[in-house]
Amino acid sequence: MAGSVNKVILIGNLGADPEIKSFQNGGKIANIRIATSESWKDRMTGERKERTEWHNVVINGDGLVGVVERYLKKGSKVYIEGSLRTRKWQDRDGNDRYTTEVVVAGMGGSLTMLDGAPGGGGSRTSGDSWNQGGGSSGGWDQGGSSGGGWNQGGGSSGGGRPPFDDDLDDDVPF
């Protein structure tokens, strides 16, 4: 393979309100923690089991940070696309520590609010596009090809049902 791919896609819920950090130059970043869960039925006991994974997400870009700041809160359901990065830092004792984060920024990053925007409105930010498809979802695509603006589509989400039944049987023949 000639190249490589570093892409992360997550759908989950915020575990706390977003943390917004401002810099002296006027820039901002948002830090959020997203919980993703998987559940299954234990073959031996028939008991329903669940495992939750927590993801640290860093969001860059004025448009995306603005959406996070205005609309997201603890419990919000989001879809994000970003890339995985590991950063090195030192703790109080001078020990090297490493943190792996999902970074949502630039052309490859996007954020979609799956709960929909409160009040049903959207705003416009230069270089970003707010796309709202059918149903109650809306999102920001950083650096979208539309050059910025509000787009509301009328697509169908298939009656609001998930693509797979939540009660899948573990007796798979392979």
Whether 11 shows a pLDDT value over 60: the answer reads yes
Both structure tokens of 169? 């049987």
**Helix, strand, or coil here: 119?**
helix
**Residue 34 contacts residue 13 (beta carbons within 8 Å):** yes
Identify the structural domains of the chain with CATH numbers, from first to last.
8-110 (2.40.50.140)
Least confident of 9-13, 99-103, 114-118: 114-118
pLDDT (average), residues 147-166:
40
Residue that wins the pLDDT comparison between 167 and 124:
167
CA distances from 100 to 66, 87, 92 (A): 24, 6, 19
Task: Summarize pLDDT for 47-98 with one digit per residue, the tens.
Answer: 999 999 999 999 998 889 999 999 999 999 999 999 999 999 999 999 999 9
